[in-house]
Amino acid sequence: MNAILLKALPYIAALLLALALGALYGAYHHGVSVTNDDWQAEWNARDTRDARAKEQNEAAERAKEQAHQQAINKVIQDGQQLIDQATADAVVARASADSLRGQADKLAARLTASKAGSNSCTAAASAAATRAVMVLADVLKRADQRAGDLAGYADQSHGRGVTCEQAYDSLGK
């Protein structure tokens, strides 16, 4: 029996060695799997934190953008009110200027009518004076009309400039 045992001993030793190596490999493989699982869990946690931080940053930036847009909308609304007020003021000024031009026309007409009833001695002097008054009245009307147009353009340009400046300033906040 000893002889069989001695013959089987190398096989038994080889079998035990193979089992030991298999157990060691299994332990090693299990360790690698556990380590990989731990690292994968940490990477997943990091990815989750990164995604959450990205969402929070995007929400904060969206809130800033909406605040800027609301500020610009307010500036545009205020600027439009300035422009509307300037337009209304220009209409009132134009009506006043029309009245002034009407008065100048009436004065010129009165001078022309008064010339008809004068004698021939003073008719030449009166005609020259009437022409001068009519030219002056015409120059006054044209200057007043042009000044009104320029004032309207200036008021609207000012309103637009203020609106642009406020819109630019609101971006810096």
Give the 3-state secondary structure of residue 25: helix
- 105-164 confidence digits (pLDDT tens): 777 677 666 655 555 556 666 666 677 777 777 787 788 788 888 888 888 888 888 888
Q: What phi and psi values does residue 172 have, to the nearest 5 degrees? A: -80, -10
C-alpha dihedral sign at 105, 110, 112, 113: positive
pLDDT in the model for residue 37: 92
- Between 28-32, 66-70, 104-108, the lowest mean confidence (pLDDT) is in 104-108
Number of separate domains in the chain: 1
Residue with the bigger pLDDT between 87 and 43: it is: 43
Residue 116 CA to residue 112 CA, distance in Å, equals 7
Q: How confident is the model at residue 95 (pLDDT cuts 50, 70, 90)?
A: confident
Q: How confident is the model at residue 47 (pLDDT cuts 50, 70, 90)?
A: very high
- 2-23 confidence digits (pLDDT tens): 777 778 888 888 898 999 999 9
pLDDT in the model for residue 96: 80
Domain that holds residue 72: 2-171
pTM of the model: 0.52
Cβ–Cβ under 8 Å, residues 56 and 158: no
